[in-house]
Amino acid sequence: MQCTSAREAISARLDGEPLGIPARELEAHLAACSRCAAWAESAAVVTRRVRRDPGPRVPDLTAAVLAALPRRPPPDAFRARAVTEVLRVTLFAVGLAQAALGWPTLAFGGGAMPAPMHMTHETGAWNLAAAAAFLAVAAAPRLAAGALPFLGTFAALLTVLTVGDLVAGLVPVDRAVGHLLLLAGVVLVAVMAWRGRRRRTAAAVARDRVVA
């Protein structure tokens, strides 16, 4: 029998558990192995001391811990929540306004802007898609980071093309000004994505400090 198996059986016997091997084999091993016999005696002494001596009393700190907790969130938390709610409401309003601008183009054509009907419908669909993205982020700010690549690319390309068309006289000024609403919505989404990233980073740092 190996000493490891014998010592596992000794530990089990001290704890009142099944030995896992025949008792006579264990006794034969102890009679032949002085090291395991000494280990068994030391383990028996430790076990008796642990069972005889009660552990130190641990005071109940529940009341003290609960009393130390802040009764209300810190002012910074209130300000952060208020800013988030203002951003959400503003983005929701921008989304509704963007939908109001995009729907007539989709339903009734381009108005003063002559274009093939399919191109007009396509433009309206893009505007409504941007409005839907604004409304989705306003309802669930965690979606801001995922929506930003689409909205940012759309807004950047539209800005470059609109400026070029204004210089060339291919688009009325009032039509170009209407795109400012889209840019405002993209800026709001970018701010919400940035704030969400900062919040996640701060939470990760706090977890690392607790673990450390």
d(CA 137, CA 149): 13
9: number of Cβ within 10 Å:
24
Domain count, the chain: 2
Cα 13 to Cα 26: distance, rounded to the nearest angstrom: 11
**H-helix or E-strand spanning residue 53:** none
Is 133 among the domain residues? Answer: yes
Residue 65 included in any domain: no
Asked if residue 151 lies in contact with residue 186, where contact means CB atoms within 8 angstroms, the answer is yes
Query: Could you tell me which residue, 98 or 105, shows the higher pLDDT?
Result: 98
Cβ-proximal residues to 189 (8 Å cutoff; 6+ apart), any chain: 91, 133, 134, 137, 144, 147, 148, 151
Instruction: Render pLDDT for 174-203 as a digit per residue (tens, 0 to 9).
Output: 878 888 999 999 999 999 999 888 777 766
Q: Has residue 63 been placed in a domain? A: no
**Tokens matching residue 4:** 């490891």
Q: Specify whether 125 is located in the same domain as 201.
A: yes
CA 165/CA 146 separation, integer angstroms: 30
25 and 86 co-located in one domain: no
Is the domain of 100 the same as that of 188? yes
Number of neighbours of residue 70 by Cβ within 10 angstroms? 7
pLDDT at 103 over 70: yes
72 secondary structure, DSSP code: S
> Does 134 map to a domain?
yes
Rounded Cα distance, 93 and 188, in Å: 11
pLDDT (tens digit per residue) in 45-62: 888 877 776 667 777 878
- Residues 41, 97, single domain; the answer is no
Please report whether residue 59 resides in a domain. no
Residue 126 backbone phi and psi in degrees, to 5: -65, -40
DSSP string, 88-117: HHHHHHHHHHHHHHHHHHHHH--TTS---H
Domain with 26 in it: 3-52
* pTM, rounded to two decimals: 0.54
Q: How far apart are CA 84 and CA 194, in angstroms?
A: 12
110 within some domain: yes
High-pLDDT (> 70) share of the chain, %: 81
